[in-house]
């Protein structure tokens, strides 16, 4: 196995036991990133710094201490998470040279564990979209088909992981932005319970909804990163598939999905049932009613407080930030909030009330039916072609791009629930499909354990063909 193919846990073990040199590992990852620059996964990198850090680690005669479990492992950081050594641009022109004075707390925790920063990854401009078709930093491309989107807004992080440029990455998720690109790029993406990870040092859209989320090629790697970010014990509880209870919300989450996606998801469900999983077809009462009145209202209102505050901290006016926006879809969203179409404080208060009702509906649903998780397609479709920013074809119908991409991930985001997207399989076209699992508030470690058990039962996804081309 080539060094760049190693999972996070396997790479850490190989480095710790000196089966693999730090410089050898870093150079393998850098060569992979250089070979696949056409995917446009990165906004900024410092390869020379990584090489020097690896050389310094190789000169250390003793094995890394148990307090530095990530010693020598480069990790990708989405470019809306602050780093002191590289700019934090948010993928927008006015911030391309912005240099925060300190690291975000989540970055600091990875560095304290011995991790290295591989670079800052491309994203949908200001994290305000699901395609990662960014007019300022360029379109990020899906490694399974470079003519297709990787999903957004954490597309660069998903591409870097899927294309074996790094073993793991951090993204952020407001309504889909970790799980959607994970699904479309064939990796694992975890959105924790809102508030589980420290939020200091983020270019926020919506503090009510935003969270950092880890991405990797296995559930075990994501669970390990979760433990490092929270400083909890790394071991997951043992979960047996036999008797595990999954809710299958067919009306809310399966309806109108691409038939190719449904084939893969149904195969996964059938396999789980054969392993003893109890799958119950149940929809969350009132989900659509409560959700439709919640998500975008919260984000748009809070965004107009968060963005000016971040710009000011970087010495910029809001006008300067707006003037640097290049993506038409993002410019339109922002312009609406500066007009009489803006979300009012009254509408915002009503959305908060609806959010509470949505949380109550979810909690009652999980409790009444004794569910370990809900299971459904992460996205209704596979990755669409780049450039379909407004509308996209889904099973012969023209539908709104953004609303369609995030339809299944948005409700649990609004409720603040933990959710994880797993690799379910490949369509006949060779495109990845994600299976999402959502759990009750605060059930993060149990959900990760459930995901790990399910992932072991599903067929393992190969790497994209271009990884070895």
Tens-place pLDDT, residues 290-346: 998 888 999 999 999 999 999 999 999 999 999 999 999 999 999 999 999 999 999
Q: Select which of 89, 154, 177, 206 is catalytic.
A: 177
Cα–Cα distance for residue pair 200/177, rounded to 1 Å: 18
Closest CA to 165 of 53, 69, 55, 73: 73
Helices (H) and strands (E) in the chain, counts: 16, 15
Could you please state the CATH topology (level 3) that the domain comprising 3-467 is classified under.
Amidase signature (AS) enzymes (3.90.1300)
Point out which residues pair with 142 in neighbouring strands.
Answer: 145
Secondary structure (3-state) at 91: coil
Radius of gyration of the chain (CA): 21
- CA 367, 371, 377, 379 dihedral sign is positive
Cα–Cα distance for residue pair 191/178, rounded to 1 Å: 7
CA 14 to chain centre: 26
pLDDT tens by residue, 12-43: 999 999 999 999 999 999 999 999 999 999 99
Q: Judge whether residue 1 has pLDDT over 80.
A: no
Cα–Cα distance for residue pair 450/438, rounded to 1 Å: 10
CA angle at residue 428 from 425 to 431, to 5 degrees? 55
Q: Select which of 98, 113, 153, 421 is catalytic.
A: 153
Cα–Cα distance for residue pair 9/225, rounded to 1 Å: 10
For residues 332-361, average pLDDT: 95
Under DSSP, the state recorded for 389 is -
Range scoring the smallest mean pLDDT among 54-63, 134-143, 175-184, 266-275: 54-63
Q: Where are the alpha helices (DSSP H) in 275-327?
A: 287-292, 295-313, 318-323
H or E element at residue 332: helix 328-337
Point out which residues pair with 391 in neighbouring strands.
Answer: 400
Can the peptide bond before residue 153 be classed as cis, meaning omega within 30 degrees of 0?
yes
pLDDT band at 62 (very low <50, low <70, confident <90, very high): low
The mean pLDDT value of the chain amounts to: 96
Q: Select which of 44, 78, 89, 327 is catalytic.
A: 78
Q: Judge whether residue 183 has pLDDT over 60.
A: yes
Is-contact 41 163, C-beta < 8 A?
yes
- Known catalytic residue: 78? yes
Q: Judge whether residue 65 has pLDDT over 70.
A: no
């Amino acid at each position: 196995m080539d060094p760049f193919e190693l999972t996070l846990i396997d790479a850490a073990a190989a480095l710790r036991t000196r089966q693999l040199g730090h410089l050898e590992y870093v150079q393998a990852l850098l060569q992979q990133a250089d070979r696949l620059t056409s995917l446009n996964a990165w906004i900024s990198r410092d390869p020379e710094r990584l090489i020097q850090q690896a050389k310094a680690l190789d000169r250390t005669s003793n094995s890394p201490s148990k307090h530095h479990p990530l010693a020598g492992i480069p990790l990708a950081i989405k470019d809306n998470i602050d780093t002191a050594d590289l700019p934090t641009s948010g993928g927008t022109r006015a911030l391309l040279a912005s240099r925060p004075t300190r690291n975000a707390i989540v970055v600091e925790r990875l560095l304290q564990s011995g991790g290295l920063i591989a670079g800052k990854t491309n994203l949908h401009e200001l994290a305000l979209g699901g395609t990662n078709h960014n007019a300022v930093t360029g379109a990020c491309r899906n490694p399974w088909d470079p003519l297709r989107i990787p999903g957004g807004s954490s597309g660069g992080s998903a591409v870097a992981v899927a294309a074996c440029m790094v073993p793991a990455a951090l993204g952020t998720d407001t309504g889909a932005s970790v799980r959607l690109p994970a699904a479309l790029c064939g990796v694992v993406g975890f959105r924790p319970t809102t508030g589980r990870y420290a939020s200091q040092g983020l270019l926020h859209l919506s503090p009510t909804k935003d969270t950092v989320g880890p991405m990797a090629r296995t559930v075990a790697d994501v669970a390990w990163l979760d433990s490092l970010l929270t400083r909890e014990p790394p071991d997951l509880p043992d979960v047996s598939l036999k008797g595990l209870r999954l809710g299958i919300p067919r009306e809310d989450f399966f309806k109108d999905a691409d038939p190719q996606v449904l084939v893969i998801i149904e195969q996964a469900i059938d396999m789980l049932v054969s392993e003893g999983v109890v799958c119950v077809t149940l929809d969350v009462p009132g989900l659509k009613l409560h959700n439709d009145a919640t998500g975008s209202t919260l984000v748009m209102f809070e965004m107009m407080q968060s963005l000016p505050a971040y710009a000011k901290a970087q010495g910029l006016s809001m006008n300067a930030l707006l003037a640097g926006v290049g993506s038409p879809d993002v410019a339109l969203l922002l312009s609406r909030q500066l007009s009489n179409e803006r979300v009012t404080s009254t509408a915002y208060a009503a959305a908060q009330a609806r959010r509470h009702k949505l949380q109550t509906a979810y909690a009652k649903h999980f409790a009444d039916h004794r569910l370990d998780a809900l299971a459904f397609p992460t996205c209704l479709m596979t990755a669409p072609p780049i450039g379909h920013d407004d509308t996209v074809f889904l099973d012969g119908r023209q539908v709104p791009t953004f609303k369609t991409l995030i339809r299944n991930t948005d409700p649990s985001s609004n409720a603040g629930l933990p959710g994880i997207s797993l690799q379910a399989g490949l369509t006949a076209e060779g495109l990845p499909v994600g299976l999402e699992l959502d759990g009750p508030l605060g059930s993060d470690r149990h959900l990760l354990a459930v995901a790990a058990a399910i992932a072991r039962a599903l067929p393992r996804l190969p790497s994209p063909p271009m990884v070895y081309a």
